[in-house]
Structure 1
Amino acid sequence: MRIHLTSIFVDDQRAARTFYTEVLGFEVRHEIPLGDDFWLTVVSPEAPDGPELLLEPSGHPAVKPYRDAMLEDGIPLAQFTVADLQAEYERLTSLGVLFTQPPTDIGTAHVAVFDDTCGNLIQLVAMKPAAT
């Protein structure tokens, strides 16, 4: 068993497409019109055949209270790994991305959290090499 697709709710799919591709650097895998919305997935250029992230419209009534509670508690809704957290933090900050938690050493990894401008907090993780 493996993860093929996971989703994150977004307020505006077009704005999310722009942020996730032009700012974060993901690539569109599928963009299929479905009425006013899309089946819109992105993938990492580092793993183009890897898991897809569905940028899911947030219109369902259960989404708002769930996301509001997660935001209020500062809980990220997705985690992405990076090789060099400090470099990614500096790159994204220079593009205007708002971080709610700067790079922080948590022992086995460094983490940072940013606002994706689409209603979610996203955590970046850079794992430390395993101790030998």
Structure 2
Amino acid sequence: MKVKVISIPVLDQEKALQFYTEKLGFVKKIDVPLGGGTRWLTVVSQEEQDGPEILLEPAPNHFEPAKVYQQALFEAGIPWTQFNVDDTQKEYERLVNLGVEFSIQPTEMGTVKVAVFNDNCGNNIQIVQML
């Protein structure tokens, strides 16, 4: 088995696309209209364009339990997912300069250094550096 696509629920696909590409530096991979104003919309890491895709999933707008779960995680401060980075402090500073809001600044926790930011699409996302 291989991981090909992971899903991140977003409240607004266009806003998510802008955030994930313009702020985080991902690259749009697939954008196919599905009707009803939704799209099969994926982004990939600029460094690994043949790697796993992130589906910017509009589920919270169409499936109430997904919206409730997303909101509960966000309010509890729990990240939806994590992205690995080479240097948490450097990435934190880059993103803060782009206006990204962090709920947890770079913090060492054992063998990792983590920080958590708001993706402005309903999710907390954690960045992790392996120490």
Class of the TM-score when normalised by the shorter of the 2 chains: over 0.9
The aligned counterpart of 2:86 is: 83
Counterpart-to-counterpart distance in 2, 1:120 and 1:7: 12
Question: What is the Cα-based RMSD across aligned positions, in Å?
Answer: 0.7
The aligned counterpart of 1:29 is: 29
More helix as a share of residues: 2
Q: For residue 85 of structure 1, report the CA deviation from its aligned partner.
A: 0.7
Question: Stretches of 4+ moved more than 6 A in 1?
Answer: none
Q: For residue 78 of structure 1, report the CA deviation from its aligned partner.
A: 1.0
Q: TM-score, normalised by structure 2?
A: 0.96
Match 1:105 to one of 83, 108, 122: 108
Give structure 2 stretches of 5+ with no counterpart: none
The aligned counterpart of 1:10 is: 10
The total of aligned residue pairs comes to: 128
Counterpart-to-counterpart distance in 2, 1:65 and 1:11: 12
Q: For residue 94 of structure 1, report the CA deviation from its aligned partner.
A: 0.5
Counterpart-to-counterpart distance in 1, 2:67 and 2:34: 22
Q: TM-score, normalised by structure 1?
A: 0.95
Counterpart-to-counterpart distance in 2, 1:82 and 1:29: 21
Counterpart-to-counterpart distance in 2, 1:119 and 1:48: 25
Identity over the aligned pairs, expressed in percent? 54
Counterpart-to-counterpart distance in 1, 2:17 and 2:68: 23
Amino acid at match of 2:48: A
Amino acid at match of 1:45: Q
Q: For residue 115 of structure 1, report the CA deviation from its aligned partner.
A: 0.2
Q: For residue 69 of structure 1, report the CA deviation from its aligned partner.
A: 1.2
Aligned-partner SS, 1:117? coil
Give structure 1 stretches of 5+ with no counterpart: none
CA offsets 1:7-43 (integer angstroms, 9 cap, x no match): 0100000000000000000000000011111100000
Q: Which aligned pairs between 1:23-102 and structure 2 lie closer than 5 A?
A: 23-35=23-35, 36-57=37-58, 58-59=60-61, 60-102=63-105
